[in-house]
Structure 1
Amino acid sequence: MNWDSDELRAAALKLLLLATLRETKVAAPLLAELEELGMVAPGTRKGEFRLLAQQEDKFRRYLSVRWPEFAETEQAFSARPTLISAIALRALRRAPLKLPAGITQLNRKTWSAWAGAHSKSGCATPPPGILLTSDENLRLRPNAGLQIIGEQGGTLDADVCRALFGELIVPERGFSRNWHVTGVLPWLVLTVENIGAYIDITIPPWLLLVHAPGRNTLLATRFIDRLPATVPWVHFGDLDPAGLDIALSMRGPQTGRTPVPWIPHIAFELLETHSLPLSSPWPTQHLPQKLLEHPVLAWLIAHQRWLEHESIVVLSGLVEDVTKLAEMLRER
């Protein structure tokens, strides 16, 4: 048995302070040994063992030999035995540790390594005043002339980023700083669901393209919240129930802005050759009537099929399609 294990220690302490313990994978070797030593006996319920009252002191000595901090831990939980757990034992052991002053943000895995069992334990409740971050990056293909001005007056020319790397990267923690979008504003901002479509779509110089992967749309919507409300916002995703649900559920976290779902009319060219079967009928009850009247979606619903949006971006007429869309939205 590994007496460095908080799970084993928690099981042993529960047995001592509550006098009963159910057999689990962790507790089974301990109970087998204690039964052989005559300290426990089967309880009234299946899989439950009880500590024999006359063996309590002997069990306490047994634990003291194997668990150096046993006495202090027993004292800490003697008045609250129902709170015993591996997490509680770990928290007690780490109680003297304090985070250094001045920390306001921590990566989720950094916090989990500090406060949880390990970096992948998913511990997600930090102290007040500390923001947990995933530290993802937002990918943008900026329109010509776009600029970002920082809180200290520095200016980032997005044209330079586009010329050097083809896109602009904004890290998650960058959103905690006071900067705003300026320069030449786009006619239209287009969020795109999948990375292939985002990278390969041909765009006119007046369009701002933002990668919004799947349902992980927070960074994209936080960026769009910094654009003037006069810039129309359209979302382009897979033409399936999930893709349209994403488009209809996206919201700017500060402004509450919502995008217009975009179904390119030229996608009709691919319906017979590239659409795929759906395993169940389209759930149409929550789709706006105007969307249901779109000929591409009407065909997909009628034939119980869907279309990946990656295949649409290679069509030569896509720029003309998005230009007509931008002109229509700007006239509203």
Structure 2
Amino acid sequence: MWVSDNARLALLELLSRGSLKRRRTQLDAYDALAELPWTRATGRRDEIGMVEERRAELAGLIDRVWPAWRDVLVDLVAAGLPPTPEGYGRLLDIERAAALPELPDRINRRTAASLTASHSKASLSESRRGALGGTDTSHDGAIRLRPPAGLSARTVNGVIDLGGIAAVLGEVSIPERALVDGLAFEGEMRAVLLVENLGAWRDLSPPPGWLLAHVPGWDTATVGHMLNCIQGIPVVHFGDLDPNGVRIMLHLRKRVPNLKWFLPEFWFELIDVCGLQASWPQDLELDFAPAPVRVLAARGLWLEQERIVLDPRIPEALNAALIPDARDQCGFGSVEGP
């Protein structure tokens, strides 16, 4: 019962303040103390008070389960913090911040959390970020690309032929730190195609000059850094036509307002052949979507992108998506944001 920090803090709060509030993180300790003759009702909701005549018994218990409690209480008072789970957590953050080693200019966010919080999966609060000083944190994602022939990447460390690497390995991977640190693409790049699913990204045959980037679902942080390195290049998104695919499209458009949506007309010819059952939420925003997508939603169907990825008409449809009046020339081949 009294092994966890939160349980022992319940004893400390009751002993030092004379009362204990009921909290979700201390329910077992609160309920156990409420049953003892050491406590009494205070008249306030979700609060018990200490029976002063039983102080010695409470002090004896906390001495046994937490011998260092007096030092902890002194440190809390000195820091102006309450003897609660939140106050104790803040005290530990302060102690960890004081013991930080010399930090580099950038570290991974998990490393930062392990140094400033109780574990690497903890959130980086404002105070924890403040403890890092001028050190930046990174997710350290990477984006998988299929670059066109002749495309290179330049960094402070030199230039590398991305097209040449892809000719040998089939693809290249660009880390977040290189993108953040000023990587620049050099060479011809006609357009960028963001592809949601891995199989479609790997098997699609793009027209010459197209850069294909794999954007797995909601994992868009690294692709955002990549798009910051590309100015004046059309960007097209190709994903599943289902509720989540629509949400991802809307999410990406917040970063790329003029993002085009790859919707070749021949895809919708497959609705009755390979349309899959789906439940489309009533509150899903579809006003921006072309009529065929709204028809899919009304019929409770969805289309997966892999079904058309090997269609020989894909390259021509992608090129048509770049034409400003593509909706007239290619049915509903692309849609720009309103």
Shorter-chain TM-score bucket reads 0.7 to 0.9
Change in CA separation of 1:281 and 1:103 when aligned onto 2, cut-off 3 Å: closer
Answer yes or no: is the 8 Å Cα contact 1:111–1:132 preserved in 2: yes
Q: How do residues 70-85 of structure 1 correspond to structure 2 at under 5 angstroms? A: 70-78=69-77, 83-85=82-84
Answer yes or no: is the 8 Å Cα contact 2:113–2:119 preserved in 1: yes
Aligned to 2:336: none
Q: Give me the identity figure in percent.
A: 28
Q: What count of residue pairs does the alignment treat as equivalent? A: 317
| Other structure's SS at 1:132 match | strand
How big is each residue's C-alpha offset from its partner over 1:50-96, in whole Å with a ceiling of 9 and x where there is no partner?
A: 21123335533442343232112222335898733335324424534
Aligned to 2:194: 191
Counterpart residue identity of residue 74, structure 1 = L
Distance (whole Å) between structure 2 residues aligned to residue 301 and residue 66 of structure 1: 60
Change in CA separation of 1:232 and 1:66 when aligned onto 2, cut-off 3 Å: same
| Other structure's SS at 1:287 match | coil
Distance (whole Å) between structure 1 residues aligned to residue 234 and residue 263 of structure 2: 15
Distance (whole Å) between structure 2 residues aligned to residue 26 and residue 221 of structure 1: 45
Distance (whole Å) between structure 1 residues aligned to residue 211 and residue 296 of structure 2: 29
Aligned to 2:320: 324
Match of 2:207 among 184, 204, 227: 204
Q: CA deviation at 1:213?
A: 1.9
What are structure 1's unaligned runs of at least 5 residues? none
How big is each residue's C-alpha offset from its partner over 1:145-191, in whole Å with a ceiling of 9 and x where there is no partner?
A: 11111124x101002220232111111222231221112x2211111
Counterpart residue identity of residue 70, structure 2 = A
My pick for the range that moved more, 64-73 or 43-52, is: 43-52
Aligned to 2:219: 216
Q: CA deviation at 1:312?
A: 2.2
* Alignment pair present for 1:164 and 2:168: yes
Match of 1:150 among 119, 144, 155: 155
RMSD: 3.1
Match of 2:29 among 27, 30, 46: 27
Answer yes or no: is the 8 Å Cα contact 1:250–1:258 preserved in 2: no
Answer yes or no: is the 8 Å Cα contact 2:152–2:185 preserved in 1: yes
Q: How do residues 1-332 of structure 1 correspond to structure 2 at under 5 angstroms? A: 1-3=1-3, 5-22=4-21, 24-27=26-29, 31=33, 35=36, 38-41=37-40, 43-44=42-43, 48-78=47-77, 83-93=82-92, 95-96=94-95, 97-125=98-126, 126-127=129-130, 128-152=133-157, 154-183=158-187, 185-229=188-232, 231-251=233-253, 258-280=258-280, 286-288=286-288, 291-293=289-291, 296-297=292-293, 299-326=295-322
Answer yes or no: is the 8 Å Cα contact 2:155–2:184 preserved in 1: yes
Answer yes or no: is the 8 Å Cα contact 1:215–1:246 preserved in 2: yes
TM-score, normalising length from structure 1?
0.81
Counterpart residue identity of residue 105, structure 1 = R
Distance (whole Å) between structure 1 residues aligned to residue 48 and residue 284 of structure 2: 56
Change in CA separation of 1:307 and 1:27 when aligned onto 2, cut-off 3 Å: same
Counterpart residue identity of residue 156, structure 1 = I
Distance (whole Å) between structure 2 residues aligned to residue 111 and residue 169 of structure 1: 24
Counterpart residue identity of residue 178, structure 1 = G
Change in CA separation of 1:47 and 1:244 when aligned onto 2, cut-off 3 Å: closer
Q: CA deviation at 1:204?
A: 2.6
| Other structure's SS at 1:310 match | helix
Change in CA separation of 1:266 and 1:137 when aligned onto 2, cut-off 3 Å: same
Distance (whole Å) between structure 2 residues aligned to residue 310 and residue 87 of structure 1: 49
Answer yes or no: is the 8 Å Cα contact 1:238–1:309 preserved in 2: yes
How big is each residue's C-alpha offset from its partner over 1:174-225, in whole Å with a ceiling of 9 and x where there is no partner?
A: 2231221112x22111111222221222223321011122222222122122
Counterpart residue identity of residue 155, structure 1 = V
Counterpart residue identity of residue 102, structure 2 = A
Change in CA separation of 1:50 and 1:81 when aligned onto 2, cut-off 3 Å: farther
| Other structure's SS at 1:181 match | strand
Change in CA separation of 1:26 and 1:172 when aligned onto 2, cut-off 3 Å: farther
What are structure 2's unaligned runs of at least 5 residues? 327-338
Q: CA deviation at 1:299?
A: 4.1
